[in-house]
Structure 1
Amino acid sequence: MDIRLVDAPISLTFSETEIDIEGYLREYQQLSEIDDDPISQWLKLARAKGESSDTDPVLLNLMVELHRKVDSLERFLKNEEPKRLSLTHEVAIESIGFEHFKLKEDVLEEGREYYGRVEMPVHPKRDVPIFFTALDKSLAKISKIHERDEKEWSAYLTARERVLIREAKENKR
């Protein structure tokens, strides 16, 4: 099987699904686009009603992100951390593909199912919940990811490819 992977310096926290499958499924749903923060829900409703059609989309997105930052600061000041399940392993991802990723360490058991959260370096920065199956001790195939997250994963992969191509061209000079 020929899997194309691209270097990507991101982190993964994960556990075997058999530890708490119901809890992991619940968290997976909570981190989905369905349960976005209140400002995102308001924005979706405003767009559905057509109330944002006369607004500059870039400016609107910046205002929404500013609102999220204020909400985040408020939660920090009130010492309100988002409730996330405790996962047993934390490891660096070495490289990614459209449906696969490779870890820097050999910590997986072939054929096992896992649940994890990937720290995606996209704007806005957030954790992406995934379910994956180990193909060997360090290579995994994503088995379940939200559609929005899959698009961001693919966009990040493409951006990493561009960076590596640019670096290769500069090294040839």
Structure 2
Amino acid sequence: MSDNIRLVPAPLDIVFDVAQRDPEGFEREFQRLSETDDDPIGQWLKIAKARGETKETDPVLLHLIIELHRKVDQLTQIVKHEEPERIDLPYHAHIESIGFEHFKLKESMLEPGKRYYGRITMPLFPKRDMGIWFDAIDERMAKIVRLHDRDEKEWSSYVVARERVMIREMKGKKGE
């Protein structure tokens, strides 16, 4: 089954657990991770955009200022020793390769047929944790079952970016 799945190399890490262990807790965290845009500055920005107050603002500059504000908030949390609430997920793995609907671990850690909940720290701007539900196809291959809409868009963009990197590497090898 995994022969017709197209994957590209990607250096990501995932922490995860079997979904049956704490389905309600995992779902709560999954929903909280989707609300990262719902911080006070994110809410203010949505309201300002709805009122048309950002029409004459450079969108890139506005985005950078918003992210700087969030970074200051993160630094404040670190100084105050305030950690974001995250469920302790016991399994940590390196992801070897990814596709639009699948990913493959470097080591055999999954039990085929089981559903899992996990978090992947995406190396995008802004860097953040992404909640993910997935089913094990075999000991290493997983099928993504559920992502938030925004996460799905970012995941797809990341897959495309990794494909471009792979194509450039292949072109570079042909030229040698």
Query: Is residue 1 of structure 2 the alignment partner of residue 15 of structure 1?
Result: no
For residues 123 and 102 of structure 1, the distance between their equivalents in structure 2, rounded to whole angstroms, comes to: 24
For residues 31-53 of structure 1, the C-alpha deviation after alignment (integer angstroms, 9 at most, x for no partner) is 10476321112111111121111
The AA in structure 2 aligned to 1:82 is P
| Partner of residue 66 from structure 1, selected from 65, 68, 79 | 68
For residues 167 and 113 of structure 1, the distance between their equivalents in structure 2, rounded to whole angstroms, comes to: 35
For residues 124 and 73 of structure 1, the distance between their equivalents in structure 2, rounded to whole angstroms, comes to: 14
- Per the alignment, residue 141 of structure 2 pairs with 139
| Partner of residue 124 from structure 1, selected from 116, 126, 131 | 126
Q: 1:121 to 1:35 in 2, by over 3 A?
A: closer
For residues 29-88 of structure 1, the C-alpha deviation after alignment (integer angstroms, 9 at most, x for no partner) is 001047632111211111112111110000000100110111111111101110100001
Q: CA-atom RMSD, angstroms? A: 1.0
The AA in structure 1 aligned to 2:140 is S
- Per the alignment, residue 4 of structure 1 pairs with 6
For residues 110-138 of structure 1, the C-alpha deviation after alignment (integer angstroms, 9 at most, x for no partner) is 00000000111000001100100000000
Structure 2, gaps ≥5 residues long: none
For residues 19 and 170 of structure 2, the distance between their equivalents in structure 1, rounded to whole angstroms, comes to: 39
- Per the alignment, residue 101 of structure 1 pairs with 103
Say whether the 8 Å CA contact 1:29–1:35 is kept in structure 2: no
- Per the alignment, residue 44 of structure 1 pairs with 46
For residues 89 and 67 of structure 1, the distance between their equivalents in structure 2, rounded to whole angstroms, comes to: 33
> Aligned residue pairs: how many?
173
Q: TM-score, normalised by structure 2?
A: 0.95
Q: 1:70 to 1:151 in 2, by over 3 A?
A: same
Query: Is residue 64 of structure 2 the alignment partner of residue 76 of structure 1?
Result: no
Say whether the 8 Å CA contact 1:114–1:131 is kept in structure 2: yes
- Per the alignment, residue 31 of structure 2 pairs with 29
- Per the alignment, residue 156 of structure 1 pairs with 158
For residues 4 and 34 of structure 1, the distance between their equivalents in structure 2, rounded to whole angstroms, comes to: 30
For residues 112-165 of structure 1, the C-alpha deviation after alignment (integer angstroms, 9 at most, x for no partner) is 000000111000001100100000000000111000000000000000111111
Please give the secondary structure, in 2, of the residue aligned with 1:82: coil
Identity of aligned residues (%): 60
Moved over 3 A (4+): none
Say whether the 8 Å CA contact 1:99–1:141 is kept in structure 2: yes
Structure 1, gaps ≥5 residues long: none
